[in-house]
């Protein structure tokens, strides 16, 4: 019995065939027309056609509602149309037009229509997999029977994300089904040379609890039969599924591909099993005539013609639309956090303050949860989350395996699905693994998808020196984040600021990076209460002065305060500006102080090569140049990897003496 025999009685078998044929024909003709437009130069950019693979998305989507979600790949036009996209707006998007689904900002590889459950195609091979798992986590928390389909190619199964995400999906029984379209090549390389497995289904089956299937991806009824039980299982809460479909991309990988890596004979063999041909033949047994097929083709033809006219006549997407769509950590709302355990005015450490903010925000908003390695009973490597597991349980203090990229991207997916994750990295250095999640996804989703999704996601990480932790556990990498449009970066130096900035980070709808200097964890300050929050981009004047400005942030605020005391003893009155947030940073405050004092020194622990110091100095210079009596100097960490020896570490770090020396030089000029 094929799935066609199980269709509801309202639709007879012939109608099912006609519907599925039409859906596949839409994809086929859309792509042929797109190829024509790209070849003539009417549409620019690249295209990855899925001609020959139409049965997979059409079969899978026939089992979904608009409430179910998908994530897609670079070869995603079939996924898009099968999920319910209009052809005209899809084509307008690829053409870079304002009427496109993402106003032309996403294009072929980065299009989303959340309103119908299409949560985004993805230009990073395997990049969408943990995001799909995060979306599934959000659906699971809402207690729905909805599911997420994560499409991937065979090449994506070689990416670490694939294995990390299957592990997470299996461990947490997430309602996600991985749909692998095995078209035998990863771009030009045959799978025998890329993947050391018997089958991809075999790989997936090694993850305990994942239900696995494998079969023909060109016969749409085979697709439906294989996918249906996995989807039903995930809907009933029994967990993740994986299905490998064997199929073939008839076209080249992209428009420049001459297909030199495969034979015309092989192509002919697969063309004989063309999905549209197979369904038409199948339809003959169910009363679908050649005339019916012709009539359906004519309907699709009209749709294609109208879509082309629409896309070509539509206005180009405008740069001005882009402004404001990055989101920004705006001042948090007036709502008070859930009552914390600490009374306002009490003296507490930075560690305790961060914990209290997490506690208060989790009490206030059930969507807030914390995720990271060893954050439960152990309380995190620096003890920040100690005690939270007891109050909030394992679902909201969610411990992860060691897979920074996937759990960070999973957090990004959960955020786009409506949760508010606060992800903890054990050490900031480990962010190197998570850079794809941050740079290619957290930072870009809102912009690429033209504001249709929000990413209320916070990443916390301990950074900086701590007497001998060595090269891979001591770095301050904040410049990387500042350099990435779409990320917002805070680096507090006091208890009060840690509280105010973290609260805003958690409550705002933007992806925020919250940097915690290890040596500041024990620093003491005053708990400012449950309603204290701070806007980002507002520097703090730590000390007013008339003779020179020390601009700094994080641990170096303390360094500058001690230097200012020594300078005062020499009759030099230093002003200290603590930036508090590095993106956005308080440009006005820097300009105001520098124009007042006419002299400046920027102090930071991170290396001074292409650092935050350079960004700020270059940015304010045009506005302060004529007021300056001397060049703005830099005091920074040395440009070498961190040595393990505490003595050597001291040598490479800026110290009070360095700051005083630079300040004396600035005032001497
Ligand atoms: C991380 C990453 N590496 C490389 C690429 C370039 N690239 C785009 S598609 C592709 C092949 C992907 O193969 P597969 O996953 O099998 O999908 P298919 O193209 O066959 O549909 C490559 C190498 C990329 N986009 N992202």
CA 246 to ligand 1 centroid distance, Å: 17
Q: Is it the case that residue 336 has pLDDT exceeding 80?
A: no
Please indicate, yes or no, whether residues 171 and 238 belong to a single structural domain of this protein.
yes
Ligand 1 pocket test, pick from 50, 122, 125 with the greatest ligand atom count within 8 Å of Cβ, gives 125
Distance CA 150, CA 157 (A): 12
Please indicate, yes or no, whether residues 551 and 520 belong to a single structural domain of this protein.
no
Q: Is it the case that residue 6 has pLDDT exceeding 80?
A: no
Residue 366's pLDDT band, with cuts at 50, 70 and 90, is very high
Full residue range of the structural domain in which residue 257 is found: 13-317
Closest ligand 1 atom to residue 153 Cα is 15
Please indicate, yes or no, whether residues 249 and 382 belong to a single structural domain of this protein.
no
Strand partners, 488: 512
CA 81 to ligand 1 centroid distance, Å: 21
Q: Is it the case that residue 615 has pLDDT exceeding 90?
A: yes
Is residue 660 in some structural domain? yes
DSSP classification of residue 631:
P
Residue 59 near ligand 1, beta carbon < 6 Å: no
Residue with CA nearest ligand 1 atom 19? 187
Please indicate, yes or no, whether residues 631 and 662 belong to a single structural domain of this protein.
yes
Ligand 1 pocket test, pick from 74, 161, 184, 436 with the greatest ligand atom count within 8 Å of Cβ, gives 74
Q: Is it the case that residue 359 has pLDDT exceeding 90?
A: yes
Please indicate, yes or no, whether residues 520 and 545 belong to a single structural domain of this protein.
no
Per-residue pLDDT of 39-67, as tens digits, reads 999 998 878 999 999 999 999 999 999 99
Q: How far apart are the first and last CA of the chain?
A: 89
Residue that wins the pLDDT comparison between 524 and 10: 524
Residue 561 near ligand 1, beta carbon < 6 Å: no
pLDDT at residue number 3? 45
Is residue 658 in some structural domain? yes
CA 155 to ligand 1 centroid distance, Å: 6
| Mean predicted confidence (pLDDT) in 10-32 | 95
Within a 10 A sphere around the Cβ of 142, how many other Cβ atoms?
Answer: 12
pLDDT at residue number 548? 98
| Residue owning tokens 């900002």 | 105
Q: In this structure, are residues 70 and 79 in contact, taking their beta carbons and an 8 Å threshold?
A: yes
Ligand 1 pocket test, pick from 186, 194, 248, 439 with the greatest ligand atom count within 8 Å of Cβ, gives 186
Q: Which of 503, 526, 549 is the last residue of a domain?
A: 526
The two tokens of residue 612 are 């935050």
Residues contacting residue 103 through CB under 8 Å, at least 6 positions apart: 97, 317, 321, 450
Q: Is it the case that residue 604 has pLDDT exceeding 70?
A: yes
Residue with CA nearest ligand 1 atom 25? 124
Q: Which of 400, 377, 327 is nearest to 137 (CA)?
A: 400
Q: Which of 602, 97, 584, 534 is nearest to 353 (CA)?
A: 534
Residue with CA nearest ligand 1 atom 10? 187
Residue 125 near ligand 1, beta carbon < 6 Å: yes
Is residue 328 in some structural domain? no
CA 152 to ligand 1 centroid distance, Å: 10
Q: Is it the case that residue 330 has pLDDT exceeding 80?
A: no
pLDDT at residue number 45? 80
Please indicate, yes or no, whether residues 609 and 471 belong to a single structural domain of this protein.
no
Largest Cα–Cα separation, the chain: 98
Residue with CA nearest ligand 1 atom 22? 187
Residue 10's pLDDT band, with cuts at 50, 70 and 90, is confident
Q: Is it the case that residue 333 has pLDDT exceeding 90?
A: no
Residue 186 near ligand 1, beta carbon < 6 Å: yes
Residue 183 near ligand 1, beta carbon < 6 Å: yes
Q: Which of 276, 296, 317 is the last residue of a domain?
A: 317
| Residue owning tokens 């599934």 | 136
| Mean predicted confidence (pLDDT) in 407-430 | 98
Residue with CA nearest ligand 1 atom 3? 125
Q: 473 catalytic, yes or no?
A: yes
Please indicate, yes or no, whether residues 423 and 478 belong to a single structural domain of this protein.
yes
Q: How far is CA 371 from CA 192, 217, 341, 425, 481, in A?
A: 37, 37, 22, 9, 20
Please indicate, yes or no, whether residues 242 and 389 belong to a single structural domain of this protein.
no
pLDDT at residue number 341? 82
Mean pLDDT in the chain? 94
Residue with CA nearest ligand 1 atom 8? 125
HSE-CB at 540 with a 13 A cutoff on CA atoms is: 20
Residue 488 DSSP SS3: strand
Residue 155 near ligand 1, beta carbon < 6 Å: yes
* Strand ranges (E), 90-198: 148-153, 176-182, 185-186, 189-190
% the chain with pLDDT above 90: 91
CATH of the domain at 479: 3.40.50.970
Is residue 8 in some structural domain? no
Distance CA 46, CA 190 (A): 22
Measure the CA dihedral 606/607/611/616, to 10°.
70
Sheet containing strand 574-578, strands side by side? 540-543, 574-578, 548-552, 600-607, 633-637
Q: How many domains does the chain have?
A: 3
Sign, CA dihedral 251-254-255-258, equals negative
Residue 244 near ligand 1, beta carbon < 6 Å: no
Closest ligand 1 atom to residue 157 Cα is 15
Please indicate, yes or no, whether residues 191 and 71 belong to a single structural domain of this protein.
yes
Please indicate, yes or no, whether residues 505 and 364 belong to a single structural domain of this protein.
yes
CA 187 to ligand 1 centroid distance, Å: 6
| Mean predicted confidence (pLDDT) in 243-266 | 94
Lowest mean pLDDT among 97-101, 311-315, 323-327, 492-496: 323-327
Distance CA 34, CA 17 (A): 26
CA 163 to ligand 1 centroid distance, Å: 16
pLDDT at residue number 4? 46
Ligand 1 pocket test, pick from 155, 180, 244 with the greatest ligand atom count within 8 Å of Cβ, gives 155
CA 181 to ligand 1 centroid distance, Å: 12
Q: Is it the case that residue 418 has pLDDT exceeding 70?
A: yes
% the chain with pLDDT above 70: 96
CA 159 to ligand 1 centroid distance, Å: 10
CA 449 to ligand 1 centroid distance, Å: 21
Residue 291 DSSP SS3: helix
Ligand 1 pocket test, pick from 109, 181, 187, 440 with the greatest ligand atom count within 8 Å of Cβ, gives 187
What is the model's pTM? 0.96
Is residue 336 in some structural domain? no
Residue 9's pLDDT band, with cuts at 50, 70 and 90, is low
Residue 325's pLDDT band, with cuts at 50, 70 and 90, is low
Residue 74 near ligand 1, beta carbon < 6 Å: yes
Is residue 286 in some structural domain? yes
Closest ligand 1 atom to residue 126 Cα is 1
Residue 185 near ligand 1, beta carbon < 6 Å: yes
Distance CA 355, CA 505 (A): 14
Please indicate, yes or no, whether residues 213 and 124 belong to a single structural domain of this protein.
yes
CA 186 to ligand 1 centroid distance, Å: 6
Q: In this structure, are residues 584 and 490 in contact, taking their beta carbons and an 8 Å threshold?
A: no
Q: How far is CA 229 from CA 242, 243, 415, in A?
A: 11, 11, 28
Q: How far is CA 180 from CA 234, 384, 487, 567, 667, in A?
A: 17, 40, 31, 65, 66
Q: Is it the case that residue 127 has pLDDT exceeding 80?
A: yes
Distance CA 240, CA 163 (A): 13
CATH of the domain at 653: 3.40.50.920
Q: Which of 467, 500, 526 is the last residue of a domain?
A: 526
Distance CA 20, CA 17 (A): 5
| Mean predicted confidence (pLDDT) in 90-112 | 95
Residue that wins the pLDDT comparison between 319 and 568: 568
Closest ligand 1 atom to residue 187 Cα is 11
**Any idea what the Cα angle at residue 492 is, between residues 639 and 540, rounded to 5°?**
105
Q: Is it the case that residue 331 has pLDDT exceeding 60?
A: no
User: Which residue among 48, 110, 163, 473 is the active-site one?
Assistant: 473
**Rg of the chain taking only CA atoms, in angstroms:** 28
Is residue 597 in some structural domain? yes
CA 74 to ligand 1 centroid distance, Å: 7
pLDDT at residue number 531? 86
| Mean predicted confidence (pLDDT) in 383-393 | 98
Please indicate, yes or no, whether residues 520 and 549 belong to a single structural domain of this protein.
no
Outline where 244-318 has alpha helix (H): 264-271, 275-284, 290-313
Closest ligand 1 atom to residue 127 Cα is 1
Is residue 275 in some structural domain? yes
User: Which residue among 303, 404, 496, 605 is the active-site one?
Assistant: 404
């Amino acid at each position: 019995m094929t799935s066609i025999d199980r269709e509801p009685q309202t639709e007879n078998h012939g109608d099912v065939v006609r519907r599925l044929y039409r859906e596949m024909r839409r994809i086929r003709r859309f792509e042929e027309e797109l190829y024509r437009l790209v070849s003539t130069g009417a549409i620019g950019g690249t295209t990855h056609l899925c001609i020959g693979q139409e049965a997979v998305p059409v079969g899978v989507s026939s089992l979904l509602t608009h409430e179910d979600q998908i994530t897609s790949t670079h070869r995603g036009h079939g996924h898009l149309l099968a999920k319910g996209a209009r052809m005209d707006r899809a084509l307008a998007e690829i053409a870079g037009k304002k009427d496109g689904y993402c106003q032309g900002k996403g294009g072929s590889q980065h299009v989303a229509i959340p309103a119908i459950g299409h949560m985004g195609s993805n230009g990073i091979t395997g990049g969408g997999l943990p995001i799909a798992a995060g979306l599934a986590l959000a659906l699971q928390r809402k207690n729905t029977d909805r599911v997420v389909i994560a499409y991937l190619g065979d090449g994506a199964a070689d990416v670490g994300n694939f294995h990390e995400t299957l592990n997470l999906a299996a461990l947490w029984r997430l309602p996600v089904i991985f749909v692998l379209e095995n078209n035998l090549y990863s771009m030009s390389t045959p799978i025998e040379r890329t993947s050391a497995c018997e089958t991809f289904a075999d790989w997936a089956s090694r993850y305990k609890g994942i239900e696995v299937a494998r079969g023909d991806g060109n016969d749409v009824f085979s697709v439906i039969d294989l996918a249906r039980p996995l989807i039903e299982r995930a809907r009933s809460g029994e967990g993740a599924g994986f299905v490998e479909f064997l199929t073939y991309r008839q076209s080249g990988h992209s428009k420049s591909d001459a297909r030199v890596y495969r034979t015309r004979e092989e192509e002919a063999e697969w063309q004989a099993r063309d999905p549209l041909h197979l369904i038409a033949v199948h339809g003959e047994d169910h009363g679908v005539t050649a005339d019916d097929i012709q009539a359906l083709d004519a309907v699709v033809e009209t749709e294609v013609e109208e879509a082309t006219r629409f896309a070509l006549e539509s206005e180009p997407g405008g740069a001005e639309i882009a402004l404001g769509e990055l989101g920004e950590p705006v001042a948090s709302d007036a709502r008070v956090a859930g009552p914390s355990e600490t009374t306002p005015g009490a003296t507490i450490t930075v560690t305790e303050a961060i914990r209290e903010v997490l506690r208060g925000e989790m009490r206030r908003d059930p969507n807030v949860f914390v995720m990271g390695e060893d954050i439960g009973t152990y309380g995190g490597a620096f003890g920040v989350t100690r005690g939270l597991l007891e109050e909030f349980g394992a679902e909201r203090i969610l411990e992860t395996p060691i897979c920074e990229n996937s759990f960070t991207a999973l957090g990004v997916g959960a955020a786009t699905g409506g949760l508010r994750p606060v992800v903890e990295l054990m050490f900031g250095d480990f962010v190197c693994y998570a850079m794809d999640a941050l740079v290619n996804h957290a930072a870009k989703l809102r912009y690429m998808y033209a504001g249709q999704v929000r990413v209320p996601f916070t990443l916390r990480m301990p950074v900086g020196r701590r007497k001998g932790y060595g090269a891979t556990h001591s770095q301050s990498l904040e410049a990387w984040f500042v350099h990435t449009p779409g990320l917002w970066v805070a680096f507090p130096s006091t208890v009060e600021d840690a509280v105010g900035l973290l609260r805003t980070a958690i409550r705002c709808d933007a992806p925020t990076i919250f940097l915690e200097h290890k040596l500041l964890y024990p620093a003491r300050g005053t708990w400012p209460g449950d309603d204290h929050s701070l806007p980002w981009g507002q520097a703090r004047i730590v000390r007013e002065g008339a003779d020179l400005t020390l601009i700094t942030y994080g641990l170096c605020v303390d360094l500058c305060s001690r230097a200012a005391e020594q300078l005062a003893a020499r009759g030099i009155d230093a002003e200290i500006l603590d930036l508090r947030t590095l993106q956005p940073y308080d440009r006005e405050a820097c300009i105001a102080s520098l124009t007042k004092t006419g002299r400046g020194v920027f102090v930071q622990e991170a290396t001074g090569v292409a650092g935050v110091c350079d960004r700020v100095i270059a940015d304010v210079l045009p506005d302060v140049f004529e007021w300056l009596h001397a060049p703005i100097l830099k005091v920074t960490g040395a440009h070498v990897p961190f040595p393990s020896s505490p003595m050597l570490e001291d040598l490479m770090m800026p110290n009070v003496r360095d700051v005083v020396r630079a300040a004396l030089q600035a005032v001497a000029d």
